[in-house]
Amino acid sequence: MKKPSRRPAVEKAIAFIQDYLSRSRPDREYSLPGVRALAQMAGVSHVTAWKALDRVRKDRGIAGGNGLKFTFAKHRNETAPSDEILLQSQPADVRVAAAIKRDIINGVYAPGAEMPSYKELGARYGASFLTLRKACMRLAKQNILRLYNRRYAVVDAGSTFSYGKIVFLGYCDAKGNIYRGVLSEELLRTLEAECTKAGLHLLIFGYREIDNRLVYFDSRSGKQTPLPGDESIIGYLCVNLPNPSGNAIDTLCRQLCLKKKHVAVYNETPGWVPTTTIAARSRNRFFTVSISTNAGGQVGRFLQMRGQKKPAYITTFKSTLWSQKRYQDLCGTYTETSPSICIPLYSNDAPDGKKLLKHRAGPVFDNDVLAKSVGRLENYFSSSIDPLIHTYASGLLRRVLYSTQLYISLKPRLEEALSDRSITAWVCANDFAAVIARYFLQEKGVDVPRRLWIVGFNDSFDAMINGLTSYNFNIPACAAALLGFLVRRPPFSLEGGKTIQIDGMVIERQSTSSIHSPQI
């Protein structure tokens, strides 16, 4: 009868090493795990592992290394250790770091996304707080994670392991068509370019309240769909335009804050601020970027510095908040230096009892008439041309009819403004009205800028091709701030819970300067 071994630990280590070598293939010389790692894997002491290796070395052809590691002998025909086996021999923080990195590669954590708390990571990877801290610091040295105040970690936005997603949300109609203006269109184009450079996907959705319930639409299909909220979503970017959305933006922000994602809001509505409920729920995950609220004042200072004594304000949307705000800021700038001056207001809107100044109203702009005209022509085009061309032709047709009717309705007010010889500059509510004013003055043979200056807002493509001086709201800076907060890019990563305002600038062109061209 065979006597039991007096060294069961050594026999146990030998059995483990032989089983380890039976799965090895030395096509070339491979390095084995360290002795301490093998001891940990076999469940024996460090000294016992040395004794077992010494016995196996004599029988299986293992050559000694530098005193810390062993290598396979080249002439033996065994199998090399797999990466998984080698990983199991590493310390716990190395194994956890490898697991986190693998999840980043698989898209579980997107670039720019905030990692779960250490408590949640510990439950996922079965590791202690100290082990997780070491693993995150190891990944931070590899520029995979960024650590903030040793409280939380963020996947580096420059990481090329996977593509994160940013959800763009704009208010839409019942068919899923997103309301957009000149500024929001520029914002979307800039965001798309910046996301492409950063390796991010930009998903576009619409939102709308139906029966006191917020619903979401996919911009591509126009169908209602649940809002994505998986771990690959870095954050949400909402657009708050004046007038159309109403209180829907507040409902949207409250719902998004419950998803524990970063939320950035691009705001064009004067006076809108997040409610206290949103601020309490967001926990520094909420950020608002507003365009300049004193654009009219900046235009007024520009005109004052150029010696313009009395401007007139031309608007086609007198009842809108943004138009009223620009007019009030323009008046405020001039009354600071010349209290007696009264800037006239010319508008095609019908009087509504809330007049900013007493003036005669021009013909009322009838949206119903326009809608019926466009509808009849669209029905004709839809039956006679390709559907793809129909979409483009429909938009072009609306713009032509809109411009024509707007010009006809605004023309009496422009003639009234032109009759006042004391007015030296026309400040138009937007570039669209500025283009109408430019063609009107050209039709009347008025020398611009020698007789009258024209200034618009939004700095659109129309302003550029028509040589109109216009106020630029600096939308690229707004996009950089919004995206910087979502991907946790300094300095905007530290602005959680705050609202910042991006100032714009007046872009001067031929309509206010004779340097570029003596006449338009």
pLDDT in tens, 284-329: 688 889 998 899 999 999 999 988 888 999 987 777 888 888 999 9
Q: What is the pLDDT of residue 47?
A: 79
Find the range with the poorest average confidence among 71-75, 82-86, 422-426. 71-75
Compute the distance between CA of residue 470 and CA of residue 46 in angstroms, rounded to an integer: 77
Query: Is a pLDDT exceeding 90 seen at residue 473?
Result: yes
Find the range with the poorest average confidence among 203-207, 384-388, 447-451. 384-388
Q: What is the pLDDT of residue 236?
A: 93
For residue 493, what is the DSSP state?
A: G
Mean pLDDT of 103-118: 75
Query: Is a pLDDT exceeding 80 seen at residue 418?
Result: yes
Non-local CB neighbours of 351 within 8 Å, separated by 6+ positions: 361
Q: What is the pLDDT of residue 1?
A: 47
Query: Is a pLDDT exceeding 50 seen at residue 363?
Result: no
For residue 6, what is the DSSP state?
A: S
Query: Is a pLDDT exceeding 90 seen at residue 509?
Result: yes
Q: What is the pLDDT of residue 313?
A: 92
Q: What is the pLDDT of residue 13?
A: 83
* Greater model confidence, 319 or 471: 471
Compute the distance between CA of residue 43 and CA of residue 340 in angstroms, rounded to an integer: 93
* Greater model confidence, 202 or 498: 202
3-state secondary structure of 120: helix
* Greater model confidence, 375 or 301: 301
Q: What is the pLDDT of residue 223?
A: 87
Find the range with the poorest average confidence among 128-137, 157-166, 354-363. 354-363
Nearest one of 171, 266, 249 to 481, comparing CA atoms: 266
Q: What is the pLDDT of residue 469?
A: 95
3-state secondary structure of 502: strand
Reported as type and span, the H/E element at residue 286 is strand 286-291
Q: Give strand pairing partners of 346.
A: 314
Q: What is the pLDDT of residue 155?
A: 76
Average pLDDT, the chain: 76
* Greater model confidence, 23 or 287: 287
| pLDDT class of 5 with cuts at 50, 70, 90 | low
Compute the distance between CA of residue 299 and CA of residue 470 in angstroms, rounded to an integer: 9
Compute the distance between CA of residue 286 and CA of residue 253 in angstroms, rounded to an integer: 9
Residue 156 — φ and ψ, nearest 5°?
-60, 130
Q: Give the burial string for 308-322 (b: 16+ CB within 10 Å, else e).
A: bebbbbbbbbbeeeb
| pLDDT class of 251 with cuts at 50, 70, 90 | confident
Mean pLDDT of 400-427: 84
Residue 393 — φ and ψ, nearest 5°?
-65, -35
Mean pLDDT of 383-388: 54
* Greater model confidence, 483 or 87: 483
| pLDDT class of 375 with cuts at 50, 70, 90 | low
* Greater model confidence, 438 or 350: 438
Q: What is the pLDDT of residue 343?
A: 78
Q: What is the pLDDT of residue 247?
A: 76
Pairing, β 233-240 against β 262-267: parallel
